[in-house]
A and B are shown apart, each in its own frame.
Chain A
Amino acid sequence: MKPAPFAYHAPRTVAEAVSVLADHGDEAKVLAGGQSLVPMLALRLARPAHLVDINGVAELAGGRLANGHLVVGATTRHAALERDAEIGTAVPLLRLAAPQIGHFQIRNRGTLGGSLAHADAAAELPAVTRALDAEISVRGPSGERTIQAAEFFKMVFTTALEPDELLTAVRFPVWGAGCGFAVEEIARRHGDFALAGAVCGVQVAAGRIERVALSMFGMGSVPERLDALEKSLTGAPVDGLDLADIGAQGVAALDPPADVHASSRYRKQVGAALIGRALSAAIESAAAEEASRA
């Protein structure tokens, strides 16, 4: 299983990288962590004539807080999302999602940008960006643009990125005090892609859900944001929530995929349970956060 031949580019700057992409269009693929792309090359499912290795582009690394947002560079490794104290405090969902991505060997190389650009509908990070309404920064030959998470994921493995565009960073809002978060998933084995998963962020005040964000992965061809359910939960008291009913509501309109690992019906069934688990875990974590500050 050897890849087909390709020319290898190692740009040092974003501008260089974009220039290579512009030259070669859809004959070029960006190589970040390689944990998803290289298997496809080995299977010859992908055979780009040009591979653009962005691991050496210093501008793409690292994260910084700015104006109530956390901006994370595209080549930030999953391992960094798991371990970096600043990232974990500012956007806990990243810290919670990352350890569930594959295995630590994969997390040492896989990147935030790569995960979003690859857009596997069963992946955690795209669902996290959807839940948080993150903004995805992209650079192309005609300059920079920002794509809302809601517009970024088009279809499984398909995003709004043009072939000559490079995802450079992701801008996450930082939620304030009194917030809790959770990422819950079911997989066949530890570290596998989720059969179904739920992402939840909740802000609790005076015993009520002041704000809630819910998204799912593995439940469609893109990460699914559960807007209607969020609306119905906003203002609800955290005590006495009927989690089974909430879960059923959340998946009602979804049509999850079927594959060799699980049927659509199974995903829907466990998806409903996962919504309940994620919501209740997020509420608990909000209470813990509240208590720790008291």
Chain B
Amino acid sequence: MPELPAVADAGTEVDVALTVNGQPRRVRVEPRKTLADSLREDLRLTGTHVGCEHGVCGACTVLMDGEAVRSCLLFAVQVRGADITTVEGLAPDGAALSPVQRAFREHHGLQCGFCTPGFVISATAFLAAHPQPTDTEIREGLSGNLCRCTGYQGIVRAVRAAAAELAATEDASGRKGPA
């Protein structure tokens, strides 16, 4: 893992090497630049959205080493060597959608779409940890992401459906989804 200098002075930029959506990337950032801003500006991955900048709305959720985290509460300098997945990386071959993404479309889980990347990432992580969730578990699992358009109806339906599809996939192949 490439070493940062022990100290990165305020206002000076440092190189940070990390993996994003399976690709090795490098950004040059001052310490206070958030991961959310760096992904969006330095790597042009604008699918991750900024909705509150204080860690409540979840629009900025990404996967870091497989775990869902709020990228507005991380500094880019902190994630050297980490493996970040953004919404753009959920369907790596670009053509097919992941099961969660497909379910969001089929069940009208979005309207304006601004909260959607955060939800899709969170739901992906949630289902990986809770493959057979109850309705209550789904709603509680989604409570870290805010939506203002849908009233959560389609989102909850989408997660139920994705859970069912992923369970069926696992039964069929003996191997666990999601992508």
Interface residue ranges, A against B (CB under 8 Å): 1-11, 16, 31, 34-35, 38-39, 41-43, 49, 51, 53, 55, 79, 102-106, 108-109, 189-191
Contact = CB atoms under 8 A, between A and B. Distances in A.
Given A105-B68, A106-B55, A108-B69, A8 B144 contact: no
Q: Is the interface of A mostly helix, strand, loop or mixed?
A: loop
Nearest to B143: A190
B54 interface: yes
B45 interface: no
Contacts of B72: 38, 42
A192 to B, nearest CB: 9
B32 A108 contact: no
B144 A106 contact: yes
Interface in B113-151: 122, 125-126, 129, 139-141, 143-144
Contacts of A79: 67
Given A39-B55, A105-B69, A108-B68, A189 B143 contact: yes
Nearest to B140: A190
A42 B74 CA distance: 11
A39 B143 contact: no
Given A3-B32, A7-B10, A49-B10, A102 B144 contact: yes
A104 B126 contact: yes
Given A104-B141, A190-B143, 14 more contacts: A1-B53, A2-B32, A2-B53, A6-B31, A7-B10, A8-B31, A10-B77, A34-B73, A38-B72, A39-B54, A53-B78, A79-B67, A103-B144, A106-B144
Given A39-B73, A108-B67, A109-B73, A51 B141 contact: no
B58 interface: yes
5 pairs of A and B residues whose beta carbons are closest in the complex: A103-B144, A8-B31, A5-B10, A39-B54, A1-B53
B58 A105 contact: yes
Contacts of B64: 108
A102 B139 CA distance: 14
Nearest to A6: B10
27 contacts: A1-B54, A5-B10, A5-B30, A6-B31, A7-B8, A7-B9, A10-B77, A16-B6, A34-B78, A35-B55, A35-B73, A38-B72, A39-B73, A41-B32, A42-B54, A49-B10, A53-B78, A79-B67, A103-B144, A104-B126, A104-B144, A105-B58, A105-B61, A105-B122, A109-B73, A190-B139, A191-B140
B20 to A, nearest CB: 18
A281 B140 CA distance: 22
B49 interface: no
B160 interface: no
Nearest to B56: A39
B2 interface: no
A16 B7 CA distance: 12
A95 to B, nearest CB: 16
Nearest to A189: B143
B31 A51 contact: yes
Nearest to A8: B31
B4 interface: yes
Interface string B40-79: 0000000000000111001001001001111011110110
B11 interface: yes
Contact of A5 (B7, B32, B68): B32
Nearest to B141: A104
B78 A105 contact: no
Contact of A10 (B6, B30, B55, B126): B6
Given A7-B8, A7-B31, A35-B55, A55 B78 contact: yes
A8 B70 contact: no
A7 B14 CA distance: 11
Contacts of A4: 32
A79 B67 CA distance: 10
B61 to A, nearest CB: 6
Given A42-B53, A105-B58, A34 B74 contact: yes
Nearest to B12: A7
B65 to A, nearest CB: 9
Contacts of B122: 105
Interface string B71-97: 011110110000000000000000000
